[in-house]
Structure 1
Amino acid sequence: MVRLTLDLIAKSNNFKPRKETTSQYLKKITHINFSDKNIDAIEDLSLCKNLSVLYLYDNRISQITNLNYATNLTHLYLQNNCISCIENLRSLRKLEKLYLGGNYIAVIEGLEGLEGLRELHVESQRLPLGEKLLFDPRTLHSLADLEFLLNKLIKLWKMDLNGNPVCLRPKYRDRLILVSKSLEFLDGKEIKNMERQFLMNWKASKDARKISKKRNSKNEEASNSYTSKQAVLH
């Protein structure tokens, strides 16, 4: 078992005590890179007050823990681990990029507090055969709930869901482009202004036809009602 600890961080950075203490040194660290180091757990790193970028991809981490302190964290790389649940991230209000691809996540949840999130990567989850990636709450259809999520993440500009069943839903890409004005890249493909404008025009035209159809239907009902009344009077 290899745990990410303050002592391990200090040793890996070849900290040599001079005038400052280990504690003072750890407070200054902004980037920590322990990718592909067989890390299976994150210990209390609360001394790393200024940590902004944390690389922990290609490890064996099963739970997201002890990151509540990291209020200055902007980039978190946790792809290709053993994570099955998105948790303990709500205090990371400055987080801009979250990488969780290649894990065992079945439900996208726990993102409510991430007001600054701009990139969400949850591609290629390693799920049991037949199991689909869902979006909290579980009672909603995955695509409908994904649309709800995008309405909340108003700064999100890049999202990658490649390899997940939701991508196979009818008009998946069109619906997400329409619901998110901030999204610029979806599943590695740029969203062109022309594409978004075309979809917006198409939706406006479709909505106009629906309104017209309803109006005609109401007029027809009123006309039929009037005709019926006239027939009764005669």
Structure 2
Amino acid sequence: MVQLTLDLVAKSVAHKNRNEGNLGQYLRKITHLNLADKNIDAIGDFSLCKNLRVLYLYDNQISQIQNLDFASNITHLYFQNNCISCIENLSSLKNLEKLYLGGNCITVVEGLDKIEKIRELHIESQNLPPGEKLLFDPKTLISLAKSLSVLNISSNNIDELEELSVLENLSYLTAVDNKLQHMKNPLMGKKLKKWKDNS
């Protein structure tokens, strides 16, 4: 398999001048990096890319989010269709606005309580153990309450939405292909109406 390192980044970026000094300067300046579908299974050190804003790592074999502490400028992170089972090591990404984690193995939405700017969370279609549903850590939900406006939780065996009522600025919720039957809680009905009115 393949580890994400500066070597891999250097090979993947189109850079005419391959002399080492210029390449280093170039890597420090890049803002978008597309390493989708490269058989990457681990994130190593590529901390020279300090100005990174958007990182595409979907369709790989990554099992752990790590080594992104340097990337405080990242606003968009694409991790769909990997092997991630835990949302972790993202607390230094203070500018993260959009997080794409669909098609992984996550059972609990957690580890986002230090990120205050996140506006979109896409966590649809997790590969859950039989009979399990996607769960939400209350601490994380409270921390997302003011910033989160888009949430995709489709295809996760979810049977109720009551705990999401703390998300006061949610304007777009996608929850298709779950196990929702009816909304018993009248407070939740009002919240759903508010979300609908905001959209």
Which bracket does the TM-score occupy, shorter chain normalised? 0.7 to 0.9
Q: Partners in 1 of 2:132 and 2:148 — Cα distance? A: 26
Counterpart amino acid of residue 132 in structure 1: K
What is aligned with 1:179? Answer: 166
Q: Partners in 2 of 1:64 and 1:25 — Cα distance? A: 25
What is aligned with 1:163? Answer: 155
Deviations 1:30-60 (A, max 9, x none): 0000111111111111110100000000111
Q: Partners in 2 of 1:19 and 1:68 — Cα distance? A: 24
What is aligned with 1:22? Answer: 23
Does 2:38 match 1:13? no
Q: TM-score, normalised by structure 2?
A: 0.82
Larger helix proportion of the pair = 1
After superposition, residues 64-143 of structure 1 pair within 5 angstroms as 64-136=65-137
CA apart distance, 1:22: 2.2
What is aligned with 1:220? Answer: none
Q: Partners in 1 of 2:49 and 2:120 — Cα distance? A: 24
Deviations 1:182-215 (A, max 9, x none): 11100179xxxxxx9x826x99xxxxxxxxxxxx
Q: TM-score, normalised by structure 1?
A: 0.70
Q: How many residues align?
A: 180
Q: Partners in 1 of 2:114 and 2:12 — Cα distance? A: 32
Distance 1:60 1:12, change over 3 A: same
The gaps in structure 1 that reach 5 residues or longer are 137-144, 190-195, 204-234
After superposition, residues 182-193 of structure 1 pair within 5 angstroms as 182-187=169-174
- SS of 2:3's equivalent? strand
Indicate conservation of the 8 Å contact 2:101/2:122, yes or no.
yes
Q: Partners in 2 of 1:88 and 1:31 — Cα distance? A: 20
Q: Of the two, which has the highest radius of gyration?
A: 1
What is aligned with 1:151? Answer: 142
CA apart distance, 1:158: 0.2
What is aligned with 1:32? Answer: 33
Counterpart amino acid of residue 165 in structure 1: N
Q: Among all aligned residue pairs of Structure 1 and Structure 2, give the percentage whose two residues are the same amino acid.
A: 58
RMSD of Structure 2 on Structure 1 (CA): 2.4
- SS of 1:3's equivalent? strand
